[in-house]
Amino acid sequence: MVGMEEISLWQQVCRQFDRAAAHTKHAPGILAQIRACNHVYRIAFPLRRDDGSVQVIHGWRAEHSHHKLPTKGGIRYSMVVSEDEVMGLAALMTYKCAIVDVPFGGAKGGIKISVKDYSTGELERITRRYTTELMHKQFIGPGIDVPAPDYGTGAREMAWIADTYQAISTDKLEALACVTGKPVGQGGIRGRKEATGRGVYLGIREAVNVVEDMTPLGLSAGLGGKRVVVQGLGNVGYHAAKFLQEGGAVIVGLAEYEGAIASDAGLDLEAVMAHRAATGSLLGFPGARDLPDRRAALELDCDVLVPAALENVITAENAPRIRAKIIAEAANGPVTSDADNMLLDRGVLVLPDIYLNAGGVTVSYFEWLKNLSHVRFGRMDKRRDQHIFGELVGALQRLTGMRLRHDEVVDITRGPDEEDLVNSGLEDTMVMAYQEIRTIAKRDKVDLRTASLISAIDKIARTYSELGIFP
């Protein structure tokens, strides 16, 4: 029998699904449809390198579920990209969107390259050709399939995708909504860059505020003083660490591909990042100790461990040495199924990726809505709110005789701008979703990952039932 550690991400996601499905009462047919990956498109095309040589580039796009349209999911550039990986990640996106009530089906894409091996011009040619290939097979479009950034990609690549789509598509009016995570000047939305990391912070904050759940772990409620280790300082890991530190947590360990550092007294994140920018490495940061290797950070004594890089970093091999009381999955699939079972048996609280890193797709949804409505959030009502707040402050001052300083009045009466509204919507989403899955976990006596999947399965099944596809 194949060991759990040897199976693909797609197989692991399916096994997690099956474990959750056993707690539902849905018919086998509908469960099979929810579990299945509907479409997978495999792509190969030539790239002329800057030196004149030609290389064949391989890519994929998987659309897991069409119960809601468009489908939604990132595009990653990595040498570990495979068909099974994008299928597994697409399935996670389906469940993730359902958990946080974002009306998308799940998708995922990837190109098998290492970004550091290509020039900017080569990356642009790869991205534009990949977009063209997706268009030819109708695997991209505002109402079809909407990509976003992922590992190895960012706002620059999303701008190239949008520009290519606009140039070829006949639908010029809605074309910008073909992709999210764009620069603000190209139809992006303020707050998107920080969204996934902020969502991780909000999810952790919500979890540690529950006294009933912290007591068995030997922890007090609240973020204040919680010792945190973050593995991976890309966009997600950096912002998660930043917001956690601002929220009162103490960063005691940081890891990146070049190594890891630790300090029981705490690490100043911005000082560490400045040191890394100057030296090219985390190692040698004043006041911190260098760890033997980057994986050693995962085994540090801490309250919260945040794996924020790639999948399968916590396995059956190192799970017995994990000393964290809470594991917050900022990355997709950082804990293998075998390791997950081992950690749960030890009473570790695992905050699952399908909930915790949903901040990115939530704010991507807001960006998509903005592109379709052609108006910036806050543009219509910011000044109106400001005037109303001003009238209220004036009335209170007249009634009480109290006089506020001008800067205090300006701060109190400031109407919300786009980023304020985006962050408010993200916070509401993460808070409501956590309370929902925690309620399911208590009701069915299951872990949070299983509860999250039960929530997703129930919501997707309800959609099919409402469509009359399944009874």
In the numeric block, which tokens belong to residue 319?
A: 């799970």
SS3 134: helix
DSSP structural state of residue 309: S
In the numeric block, which tokens belong to residue 146?
A: 């909407």
Q: Indicate if 193 belongs to the active site.
A: no
Contact criterion met (CB below 8 Å) for 224 and 398: no
Contact criterion met (CB below 8 Å) for 144 and 71: yes
- Calculate ∠ Cα 306-192-153, nearest 5°: 75
Q: Which residues pair with 351 in a beta bridge?
A: 328
DSSP string, 389-443: HHHHHHHHHHHH-----HHHHHHHHPPP-HHHHHHHHHHHHHHHHHHHHHHHHHH
Going 311 to 446 to 430 to 162, the CA torsion angle's sign is positive
Q: How far is CA 373 from CA 143, 160, 163, 376, 379, in A?
A: 14, 22, 19, 8, 12
**What are the helix (H) ranges across 222-288?**
235-246, 269-279
- Calculate ∠ Cα 434-437-443, nearest 5°: 135
DSSP string, 39-70: EEEEEEEEEE-TTS-EEEEEEEEEE---SSSS
Q: How far apart are CA 464 and CA 471, in angstroms?
A: 8
Q: How far apart are CA 350 and CA 325, in angstroms?
A: 9
- Calculate ∠ Cα 359-346-314, nearest 5°: 50
Question: Which strand (E) or helix (H) includes residue 227?
Answer: strand 227-231
Catalytic residue, chosen from 68, 72, 96, 108, is: 108
Q: How far apart are CA 470 and CA 354, in angstroms?
A: 25
SS3 156: helix
Phi/psi at 161 (5° precision): -60, -50
Q: Give me the active site residues, please.
A: 108
